[in-house]
């Protein structure tokens, strides 16, 4: 008997429906600007101390009341650090996430302005802060998106728009179910869901999921309270009965959400609610119901149509019938394309006199941007460090997206074939760059134009530039490049403009470049320390090896010695001749003989000097 019971118990244990996820979801919370980890009661939420930021300044924050306990610090990004600033979080497991970014106000008298800026997640512009956001102590003080993170990183960026310094209070990255908010066709394919609002109908206070002891796979959503739709058109009903079919995959809603509701009154059977929306955007709308009115006990007793801006979206909704009983949750979702600035939800009863609703969620469908080719991002980051890029240029996040906020000095193009953005231009002229140009620049292999004119870049021109086959314009003028022009530049058959003037270049200009000049390309090599070899520049001297130079030097020495010896000989002989002439002049009567003697001396080159002298001295006797 006992054994049978045990087996039954075991069977029940194994057969009972269990949550689809046994492991805990990944969760990262950062308290921006905090020097130490923060633990918050009563939900014991753990906030990591600040990390993973690209720059910025920590400061005290004006504490918001809707996060409890209030986080007291933030990080703000002054314009001097550039217009693009980010948090780049690594080692985020592949998955589906709720990403939430809370905004703050710097608690200093000099910061009286509410900053307005743009927020992007993974390169997609998610939100532009509306003016007046800081007057509302609710979901207007944060932005939330549901996004698949696939490359192990989460990049959250803040883009200045000229209205104050972006100031970030906190960041949450919470894993949710892979099918959370599954809406059918197109789900997860290049779309991101931005949470516009979550409203708990009939609730008194706004609450986070944690306050509702909601399942952690729900992403700790924030439910704002909506006590009434307005003008006493409705009333609140609530129950303490437990609700069935809640907190299950994929969305894990908290039970409390269904234990209060707004129900229409006798005088006003239609229940209507109007929300402000952005025109010409697509929204995913989620509506929540549970039949908690004790007067309704079965199917067919309360039936209503749901209209969106006057069009029937869900006809004949019978909560009891569709949910499978009373006190049972029913969730409906649909995609709406709105043309105007408002979305009105109307519940129009067709059976029974009242309509009822528990909660409303509105999420905007945002088309995800395609990021830049990773190899090209790496190349630009290398350039950023070797060129000592000034802080004001920023260069954080993705170079090309969001398209509204590309990096300054970087031109981008969308490459349809690889579905990525690529860099086709680099315009960093007169930016006070120093350092050197790395060989990695050739990894930007879609470049058509480079202008680095008017900086203080030194070192050699990297020969790898010759592999960027699409390059048409290369302006490196007025820098401090030295060495010679790499032969490889001659391979750039598309090159139209090459400005290397105003550098310290020397040596021979590659012959292939000289040839291009004839075909109408515009090259400028002037004002360098010594370029040669093409028309308009000096002729290059012969090119000699070190051995040849030594040979020439030796040859020159030998030649010099030879010449010196010959000169000495000639000089001595001339002295002798002069002496002989003086002797001859003394013995005038022998003038004829002297003539004879002179001829003899000139013919007798083979005689030794001694012999010649003896002959001269004995001249007269010879004649005798
Ligand atoms: C949302 O609605 C679609 C049909 O419109 C349905 O296929 C899908 O399962 C619903 N999503 C959830 C999470 O219930
Ligand atoms: C919105 O919906 C329309 C029509 O269904 C579609 O053509 C458009 O691409 C959608 N836009 C977004 C941002 O999803
Ligand atoms: C490069 O920039 C300089 C300085 O702004 C400009 O004068 C020059 O024309 C540019 N070069 C090309 C090839 O456009
Ligand atoms: C270029 O100048 C640097 C110093 O700025 C020097 O170290 C290097 O040897 C020079 N290179 C050539 C090829 O002249
Ligand atoms: C080349 O650059 C120099 C300045 O370094 C300028 O004076 C000259 O006009 C330029 N030549 C051509 C052909 O553009």
Cα 298 from Cα 533, distance rounded (Å): 98
Q: How close is the Cα of 431 to the center of ligand 5, in Å?
A: 21
The mean pLDDT value of the chain amounts to: 87
542 domain residue, yes or no: no
**292/347 same-domain check:** yes
- Ligand number nearest CA of 501 is 5
- % of the chain residues with pLDDT over 70: 84
Query: Facing residues of 48 across strands?
Result: 30
Q: How far, in Å, CA of 345 to CA of 426, rounded?
A: 50
| Domain termination site, one of 532, 553, 584 | 532
Dihedral of alpha carbons 51, 57, 58, 63, sign: negative
pLDDT band at 11 (very low <50, low <70, confident <90, very high): very low
- Give the C-alpha separation, 373 to 415, whole Å: 10
For residue 574, with 0-12 CB atoms within 10 Å meaning exposed, 13-18 middle and 19 or more buried, which class applies? exposed
Instruction: Name the nearest CA neighbour of 71 among 27, 34, 43, 116.
Output: 34
Which has the higher per-residue pLDDT, 240 or 571?
A: 240
**Ligand 5 contacts CB of residue 524 (under 6 A):** yes
308 and 210 part of one domain:
yes
Residue 586: predicted pLDDT? 56
Report yes or no on 548 lying in a domain.
no
DSSP per-residue codes, 522-533 = EEE--SSSEEES
Please check whether residues 387 and 508 belong to one and the same domain. yes
Query: Which atom from ligand 3 is nearest to the alpha carbon of 449?
Result: 13
Could you give the residue ranges of the DSSP H alpha helices within 273-373?
A: 319-323
* pLDDT(509) > 90: yes
Q: Rounded CA gap, 297 and 318, in Å?
A: 12
What would the two tokens of residue 153 be? Answer: 């990183």
Q: Which domain holds residue 210?
A: 189-368
CA gap 337, 343 in Å, rounded: 10
In a mutational test of the pocket of ligand 3, which residue from 451, 521, 523 has the highest number of ligand atoms less than 8 Å from its CB?
451
Mean pLDDT of 490-499: 94
Region of 44 please: left (phi>0), alpha (psi -120 to 50) or beta.
left
Same-domain check for residues 160 and 226: no
pLDDT digits (tens, 9 = 90+) for 525-579: 999 988 998 888 888 876 555 555 555 566 665 666 776 675 776 667 777 766 7
> Of the residues 454, 473, 526, which should be mutated to test ligand 5's pocket, given the most ligand atoms within 8 Å of the CB?
526
The side-by-side arrangement of strands in the sheet containing 356-357 is 234-238, 260-264, 356-357
Q: Which atom of ligand 3 is nearest to the CA of 499?
A: 13
Q: What is the mean pLDDT of residues 502-528?
A: 89
Taking the centre of ligand 4 as the mean of its atom positions, its distance from the CA of residue 480, in whole angstroms, is: 10
- Which ligand is nearest to the Cα of residue 521, counting in written order? 5
DSSP β-bridge partners for residue 60? 73
Which residue's CA is the nearest one to ligand 2's atom 8? 282
> How many angstroms separate the CA atoms of 383 and 546, rounded?
37
Any ligand 3 atom below 6 A from CB of 473: yes
Please, which pLDDT band fits residue 15 given cuts at 50, 70 and 90?
very low
Q: Is 547 in the pocket of ligand 1 (CB under 6 A)?
A: no
φ/ψ of 257, rounded to 5, equals: -60, -30
252 φ/ψ sector (left φ>0, alpha ψ -120 to 50, else beta): left
Same domain, 388 and 500: yes
Please tell me if the CB atom of residue 250 comes closer than 6 angstroms to any atom of ligand 1. Answer: yes
User: Do both 169 and 28 map to the same domain?
Assistant: yes
As given in the structure block, the two tokens for residue 234 are 């409705």
Same domain? For 268 and 226 the reply is yes
Residue 442 sits at the vertex; the CA angle it makes with 441 and 443, to the nearest 5 degrees, is 90
Å from CA of 121 to ligand 4 middle: 44
- Same domain for 363 and 380, yes or no, is no
Domain end, chosen from 482, 516, 532, is at 532
Q: Which atom from ligand 4 is nearest to the alpha carbon of 482?
A: 1
**Residues 435-451: pLDDT tens digits?**
999 999 999 999 999 99
Q: Which residue has the higher pLDDT, 536 or 176?
A: 176
CATH number where 156 lies: 2.60.120.430
Locate all alpha helices (DSSP H) within 465-590, ordered by sequence. Answer: 511-517, 546-586
pLDDT score for 321 = 98
| pLDDT tens per residue, range 268-278 | 999 999 999 99
How many structural domains compose the chain? 3
CB 119 within 8 A of CB 194: no
Q: Is 182 in the pocket of ligand 1 (CB under 6 A)?
A: yes
To test the ligand 4 pocket, which listed residue (457, 483, 485, 503) has its Cβ within 8 A of the most ligand atoms?
483
Q: How many angstroms separate the alpha carbon of residue 448 from the centre of ligand 5? A: 22
| 127: its two tokens | 């939100």
Same domain, 126 and 252: no
Q: Is residue 589 part of a domain?
A: no
**411 shares its domain with 382:** yes
- Which bound ligand lies closest to the C-alpha atom of 369? 2
- pTM strictly above 0.85: no
User: For residue 16, with 0-12 CB atoms within 10 Å meaning exposed, 13-18 middle and 19 or more buried, which class applies?
Assistant: exposed
Ligand 1: atom nearest CA of 250 is 13
Give the position, in ligand 4's atom list, of the atom nearest the Cα of 484. Answer: 13
How far from chain centre, in Å, is Cα 417?
A: 21
Nearest protein Cα to ligand 4, atom 3: 459
Find out whether the beta carbon of 187 lies less than 6 Å from any atom of ligand 1. no
Residue 93 and residue 169 in one domain: yes
**Quick check: is 608 in a domain?**
no
3-state class (DSSP) for residue 341: coil
**Longest Cα separation, the chain:** 173
pLDDT at residue number 138: 79
3-state helix, strand, coil in the chain (%, to 5): 25, 35, 45
Cα gap 188→176, rounded to integer Å: 13
Token look-up 């490196």 returns 476
Q: Who wins on pLDDT, 548 or 340?
A: 340
Residues forming a β-bridge with 170: 31, 102
Residue with CA closest to ligand 1 atom 1: 183
CB-ligand 2 contact for 365 (6 Å cutoff): yes
Instruction: Write down which residue in 368, 395, 427 finishes a domain.
Output: 368
Virtual CA dihedral for 86, 89, 94, 98, nearest 10 degrees? -60
Q: Is residue 184 part of a domain?
A: no
The number of the ligand 5 atom at minimal distance from the alpha carbon of 527 is 5
Domain CATH number, residue 505: 3.80.10.10
For residue 183 and ligand 1, the question of a CB distance below 6 A is answered with: yes
Q: Where are the alpha helices (DSSP H) in 482-545?
A: 511-517
Domain assignment of residue 609, yes or no: no
Atom nearest to 183 CA in ligand 1: 1
Residue at 484 is within a domain: yes
Q: At 467, list the tokens.
A: 């592999």
Q: What is the pLDDT of residues 39-81, one digit of tens each?
A: 876 677 899 999 999 999 999 998 777 776 678 999 999 999 9
Ligand 1 centroid to residue 331 C-alpha, Å: 9
Question: Comparing C-alpha atoms, which of 362, 366, 365 is closest to residue 345?
Answer: 362
Residues 157, 97 share a domain: yes
Residue 607 lies in a domain: no
User: Which residues have CB under 8 Å from 87's CB, separation 6+?
Assistant: 30, 52, 53, 54, 154, 155, 156, 157, 168, 171
- Predicted confidence at residue 68, as pLDDT, reads 65
Determine the pLDDT at residue 589.
46
């Amino acid at each position: 008997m006992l054994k049978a019971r045990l087996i039954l118990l075991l069977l029940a244990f194994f057969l009972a429906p269990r949550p689809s996820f046994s492991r805990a979801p990944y969760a990262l919370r950062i308290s921006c600007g905090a020097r130490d980890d923060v633990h918050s009661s009563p939900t014991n939420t753990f906030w990591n101390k600040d990390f993973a930021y690209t720059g910025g300044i920590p400061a005290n924050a004006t504490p918001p009341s809707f996060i409890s306990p209030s986080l007291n610090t933030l990080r703000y990004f002054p314009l001097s650090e550039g217009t693009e600033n980010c948090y780049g979080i690594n080692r985020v497991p592949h998955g589906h996430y709720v990403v939430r970014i809370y905004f703050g106000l710097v608690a200093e008298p000099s910061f009286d302005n509410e900053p307005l800026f743009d927020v992007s997640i993974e390169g997609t512009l998610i939100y532009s802060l509306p003016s007046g956001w800081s007057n509302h102590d609710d979901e207007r003080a944060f932005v939330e998106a549901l996004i698949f993170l696939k490359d192990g990183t989460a990049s959250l960026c803040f883009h200045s728009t000229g209205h104050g310094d972006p100031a970030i209070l906190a960041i949450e990255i919470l894993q949710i179910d892979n099918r959370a908010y599954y809406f059918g066709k197109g789900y997860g394919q290049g779309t991101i869901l931005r949470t516009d609002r979550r409203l708990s109908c009939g609730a008194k206070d706004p609450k986070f999921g944690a306050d509702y002891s909601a399942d952690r796979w729900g992403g700790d959503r924030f439910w704002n309270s909506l006590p009434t739709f307005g003008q006493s058109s409705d009333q609140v009903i609530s129950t303490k009965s437990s609700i069935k079919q809640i907190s299950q995959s994929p969305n894990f809603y908290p039970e409390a959400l269904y234990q209060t509701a707004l129900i229409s009154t006798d005088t006003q059977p239609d229940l209507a609610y109007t929300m402000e929306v952005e025109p010409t955007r697509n929204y995913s709308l989620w509506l929540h119901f549970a039949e908690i009115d004790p007067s309704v006990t079965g199917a067919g007793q309360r039936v209503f149509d749901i209209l969106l801006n006057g069009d029937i979206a869900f006809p004949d909704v019978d909560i009891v019938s569709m949910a499978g009983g009373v006190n049972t949750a029913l969730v409906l979702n649909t995609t709406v394309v709105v043309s105007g600035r408002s979305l009105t939800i109307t519940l129009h009863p067709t059976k029974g006199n009242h309509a009822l609703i528990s909660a409303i969620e509105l999420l905007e469908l945002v088309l995800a941007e395609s990021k830049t080719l990773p190899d090209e991002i790496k190349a630009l980051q290398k350039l950023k460090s070797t060129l000592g890029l000034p802080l004001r240029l920023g260069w954080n996040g993705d170079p090309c997206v969001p398209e509204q906020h590309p990096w300054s000095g970087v031109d981008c193009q969308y490459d349809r074939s690889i579905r990525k953005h690529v860099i086709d231009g680099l315009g960093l002229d007169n930016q006070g760059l120093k350092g050197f140009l790395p060989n990695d620049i050739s990894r930007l292999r879609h470049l058509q134009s480079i202008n680095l004119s008017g900086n203080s870049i030194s070192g050699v021109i990297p020969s790898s530039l010759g592999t960027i086959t699409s390059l048409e314009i290369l302006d490196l003028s007025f820098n401090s490049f030295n060495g010679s022009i790499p032969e490889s530049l001659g391979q750039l058959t598309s090159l139209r403009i090459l400005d290397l003037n105003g550098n310290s270049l020397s040596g021979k200009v590659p012959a292939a470049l000289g040839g291009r000049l004839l075909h109408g390309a515009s090259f400028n090599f002037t004002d360098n320390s010594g370029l040669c070899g093409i028309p308009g520049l000096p002729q290059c001297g012969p090119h000699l090896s070190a051995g040849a130079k030594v040979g020439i030097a030796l040859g020159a020495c030998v030649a010099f010695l030879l010449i010196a010896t010959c000169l000495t000989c000639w000089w001595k002989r001339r002295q002798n001749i002069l002496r002989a002439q003086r002797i001859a002049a003394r013995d005038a009567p022998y003038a004829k003989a002297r003539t004879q003697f002179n001829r003899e001396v000139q013919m007798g080159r083979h005689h030794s000097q001694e012999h010649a002298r003896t002959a001269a001295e004995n001249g007269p006797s010879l004649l005798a």
